[in-house]
Protein backbone atom coordinates (compact mmCIF):
# COMPACT_ATOMS: atom_id res chain seq x y z
CA UNK A 1 0.00 0.00 0.00
CA UNK A 2 1.33 3.42 -0.98
CA UNK A 3 1.86 6.09 1.70
CA UNK A 4 0.14 8.66 -0.49
CA UNK A 5 -1.69 9.01 -3.78
CA UNK A 6 -1.64 11.93 -6.23
CA UNK A 7 -3.38 12.50 -9.54
CA UNK A 8 -4.71 15.22 -11.86
CA UNK A 9 -8.09 15.16 -13.55
CA UNK A 10 -10.15 17.45 -15.80
CA UNK A 11 -13.82 17.23 -14.83
CA UNK A 12 -16.62 18.04 -17.26
CA UNK A 13 -19.05 20.64 -15.86
CA UNK A 14 -22.04 20.01 -18.12
CA UNK A 15 -22.03 16.21 -18.16
CA UNK A 16 -20.93 15.46 -14.61
CA UNK A 17 -24.00 14.76 -12.46
CA UNK A 18 -22.19 15.59 -9.20
CA UNK A 19 -21.13 19.06 -10.35
CA UNK A 20 -24.53 19.76 -11.92
CA UNK A 21 -26.24 18.72 -8.69
CA UNK A 22 -24.12 21.15 -6.65
CA UNK A 23 -24.65 23.97 -9.18
CA UNK A 24 -28.42 23.42 -9.22
CA UNK A 25 -28.44 23.34 -5.42
CA UNK A 26 -26.66 26.72 -5.24
CA UNK A 27 -28.91 28.25 -7.91
CA UNK A 28 -31.99 26.79 -6.23
CA UNK A 29 -31.07 28.28 -2.84
CA UNK A 30 -30.29 31.67 -4.41
CA UNK A 31 -33.59 31.61 -6.34
CA UNK A 32 -35.55 30.62 -3.23
CA UNK A 33 -34.15 33.49 -1.16
CA UNK A 34 -34.56 36.01 -4.00
CA UNK A 35 -38.19 35.02 -4.60
CA UNK A 36 -38.74 35.14 -0.85
CA UNK A 37 -37.45 38.74 -0.72
CA UNK A 38 -39.70 39.74 -3.64
CA UNK A 39 -42.70 38.18 -1.90
CA UNK A 40 -41.88 39.96 1.36
CA UNK A 41 -41.69 43.28 -0.49
CA UNK A 42 -45.11 42.70 -2.06
CA UNK A 43 -46.68 41.29 1.14
CA UNK A 44 -48.16 44.65 2.28
CA UNK A 45 -49.95 44.98 -1.06
CA UNK A 46 -51.28 41.44 -0.74
CA UNK A 47 -52.55 42.07 2.78
CA UNK A 48 -54.24 45.30 1.69
CA UNK A 49 -55.80 43.52 -1.29
CA UNK A 50 -54.11 45.92 -3.72
CA UNK A 51 -52.31 43.20 -5.67
CA UNK A 52 -54.22 42.47 -8.88
CA UNK A 53 -53.02 40.95 -12.13
CA UNK A 54 -53.16 44.33 -13.86
CA UNK A 55 -51.78 46.40 -10.99
CA UNK A 56 -48.38 48.06 -11.14
CA UNK A 57 -47.18 46.02 -8.13
CA UNK A 58 -48.07 42.74 -9.87
CA UNK A 59 -46.33 43.89 -13.06
CA UNK A 60 -43.25 44.96 -11.10
CA UNK A 61 -43.12 41.58 -9.33
CA UNK A 62 -43.47 39.71 -12.65
CA UNK A 63 -40.71 41.78 -14.28
CA UNK A 64 -38.49 41.30 -11.22
CA UNK A 65 -38.89 37.51 -11.36
CA UNK A 66 -38.23 37.46 -15.13
CA UNK A 67 -35.13 39.61 -14.60
CA UNK A 68 -33.88 37.33 -11.81
CA UNK A 69 -34.43 34.22 -13.94
CA UNK A 70 -32.64 35.80 -16.89
CA UNK A 71 -29.73 36.86 -14.67
CA UNK A 72 -29.25 33.32 -13.34
CA UNK A 73 -29.46 31.85 -16.85
CA UNK A 74 -26.93 34.33 -18.27
CA UNK A 75 -24.63 33.75 -15.29
CA UNK A 76 -24.74 29.98 -15.85
CA UNK A 77 -24.07 30.37 -19.59
CA UNK A 78 -21.18 32.76 -18.90
CA UNK A 79 -19.57 30.33 -16.41
CA UNK A 80 -19.88 27.41 -18.84
CA UNK A 81 -18.44 29.50 -21.69
CA UNK A 82 -15.64 30.92 -19.51
CA UNK A 83 -14.54 27.57 -18.10
CA UNK A 84 -14.91 25.72 -21.41
CA UNK A 85 -16.85 22.88 -19.74
CA UNK A 86 -13.69 21.73 -17.91
CA UNK A 87 -12.62 22.16 -14.30
CA UNK A 88 -8.99 21.22 -13.58
CA UNK A 89 -8.34 19.54 -10.24
CA UNK A 90 -5.55 17.71 -8.44
CA UNK A 91 -5.95 15.30 -5.54
CA UNK A 92 -3.59 14.18 -2.83
CA UNK A 93 -4.33 11.51 -0.23
CA UNK A 94 -2.04 10.54 2.61
CA UNK A 95 -2.47 9.02 6.07
CA UNK A 96 -3.85 12.31 7.45
CA UNK A 97 -6.26 13.79 4.95
CA UNK A 98 -7.83 14.09 1.51
CA UNK A 99 -6.73 17.24 -0.32
CA UNK A 100 -8.59 18.73 -3.27
CA UNK A 101 -6.37 21.25 -5.06
CA UNK A 102 -7.34 23.66 -7.81
CA UNK A 103 -4.59 23.49 -10.44
CA UNK A 104 -2.60 26.61 -11.33
CA UNK A 105 -4.30 27.39 -14.65
CA UNK A 106 -7.76 26.86 -13.13
CA UNK A 107 -6.81 28.94 -10.08
CA UNK A 108 -5.80 31.80 -12.38
CA UNK A 109 -9.16 31.68 -14.16
CA UNK A 110 -11.00 31.54 -10.84
CA UNK A 111 -9.04 34.46 -9.43
CA UNK A 112 -9.89 36.66 -12.44
CA UNK A 113 -13.58 35.76 -12.20
CA UNK A 114 -13.68 36.25 -8.43
CA UNK A 115 -11.89 39.62 -8.73
CA UNK A 116 -14.44 40.70 -11.36
CA UNK A 117 -17.26 39.60 -9.04
CA UNK A 118 -15.81 41.63 -6.15
CA UNK A 119 -15.37 44.77 -8.33
CA UNK A 120 -18.87 44.50 -9.81
CA UNK A 121 -20.30 43.96 -6.33
CA UNK A 122 -18.53 47.03 -4.95
CA UNK A 123 -19.47 49.24 -7.91
CA UNK A 124 -23.08 48.06 -7.75
CA UNK A 125 -23.04 48.43 -3.94
CA UNK A 126 -23.97 44.76 -3.75
CA UNK A 127 -22.21 43.41 -0.66
CA UNK A 128 -23.54 39.91 -1.32
CA UNK A 129 -21.80 39.69 -4.70
CA UNK A 130 -18.57 41.17 -3.30
CA UNK A 131 -18.67 38.79 -0.34
CA UNK A 132 -19.28 35.83 -2.66
CA UNK A 133 -16.19 36.80 -4.63
CA UNK A 134 -14.01 36.92 -1.50
CA UNK A 135 -15.39 33.59 -0.24
CA UNK A 136 -14.94 31.89 -3.61
CA UNK A 137 -11.34 33.12 -3.78
CA UNK A 138 -10.56 31.75 -0.30
CA UNK A 139 -12.23 28.37 -0.90
CA UNK A 140 -10.37 27.03 -3.94
CA UNK A 141 -8.62 24.21 -2.03
CA UNK A 142 -9.99 21.78 0.52
CA UNK A 143 -8.28 19.64 3.13
CA UNK A 144 -10.53 17.05 4.78
CA UNK A 145 -9.09 15.06 7.68
CA UNK A 146 -9.81 11.33 7.72
CA UNK A 147 -10.86 11.48 11.38
CA UNK A 148 -13.55 14.08 10.58
CA UNK A 149 -15.23 12.05 7.82
CA UNK A 150 -18.63 10.69 8.90
CA UNK A 151 -19.76 9.08 5.66
CA UNK A 152 -18.13 7.82 2.46
CA UNK A 153 -20.12 6.86 -0.63
CA UNK A 154 -18.55 4.98 -3.53
CA UNK A 155 -19.81 5.32 -7.12
CA UNK A 156 -17.87 2.76 -9.21
CA UNK A 157 -19.90 3.45 -12.38
CA UNK A 158 -18.77 7.10 -12.42
CA UNK A 159 -15.37 6.55 -10.71
CA UNK A 160 -16.30 8.98 -7.93
CA UNK A 161 -16.20 8.97 -4.13
CA UNK A 162 -18.02 11.48 -1.92
CA UNK A 163 -17.18 12.30 1.70
CA UNK A 164 -19.39 14.00 4.29
CA UNK A 165 -17.91 15.45 7.46
CA UNK A 166 -21.00 17.05 9.03
CA UNK A 167 -22.10 20.69 9.26
CA UNK A 168 -22.47 20.83 5.48
CA UNK A 169 -18.79 19.99 4.86
CA UNK A 170 -18.51 17.75 1.82
CA UNK A 171 -15.83 16.64 -0.59
CA UNK A 172 -16.19 14.99 -4.00
CA UNK A 173 -13.24 12.97 -5.26
CA UNK A 174 -13.19 12.40 -9.02
CA UNK A 175 -11.01 9.50 -10.14
CA UNK A 176 -9.98 8.20 -13.51
CA UNK A 177 -11.26 4.79 -14.61
CA UNK A 178 -7.69 3.54 -14.31
CA UNK A 179 -7.00 4.64 -10.72
CA UNK A 180 -10.48 4.28 -9.15
CA UNK A 181 -9.72 0.79 -7.83
CA UNK A 182 -6.49 1.80 -6.08
CA UNK A 183 -8.00 5.06 -4.74
CA UNK A 184 -11.08 3.32 -3.32
CA UNK A 185 -8.82 0.69 -1.73
CA UNK A 186 -6.69 3.45 -0.17
CA UNK A 187 -9.84 5.14 1.20
CA UNK A 188 -11.15 1.91 2.75
CA UNK A 189 -7.86 1.51 4.62
CA UNK A 190 -7.64 5.12 5.81
CA UNK A 191 -11.17 6.08 6.94
CA UNK A 192 -11.96 5.98 10.66
CA UNK A 193 -13.94 3.09 12.17
CA UNK A 194 -17.08 5.12 12.86
CA UNK A 195 -17.42 6.24 9.22
CA UNK A 196 -20.55 5.02 7.40
CA UNK A 197 -19.78 3.30 4.09
CA UNK A 198 -22.18 3.12 1.15
CA UNK A 199 -21.81 1.91 -2.42
CA UNK A 200 -24.16 3.20 -5.14
**What residue ranges of the chain have pLDDT lower than 50?**
124-138
Q: Are 2 and 174 in contact (CB under 8 A)?
A: no
- pLDDT tens readout for residues 11-37: 887 788 888 787 777 667 767 776 777
The confidence score (pLDDT) of residue 191 equals: 78
Q: Are 57 and 45 in contact (CB under 8 A)?
A: yes
Q: What domains, with CATH codes, occur in the chain?
A: 5-102+141-199 (2.30.29.30)
Report the greatest alpha carbon distance in the chain: 71
198 vs 161: CA distance, rounded Å: 10
Q: Is 179 exposed, middle or buried (0-12, 13-18, 19+ CB in 10 A)?
A: middle
CB within 8 A of 24, min separation 6: which ones?
none
What's the confidence (pLDDT) of residue 130? 42
Q: What is the pLDDT of residue 116?
A: 60
Amino acid sequence: MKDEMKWDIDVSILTNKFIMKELLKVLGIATFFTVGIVLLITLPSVLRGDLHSNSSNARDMKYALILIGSMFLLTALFIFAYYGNNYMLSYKMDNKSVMTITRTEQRSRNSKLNFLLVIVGILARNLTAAGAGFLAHSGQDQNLKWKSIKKATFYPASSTITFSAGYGEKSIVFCTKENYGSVSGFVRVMYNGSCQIREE
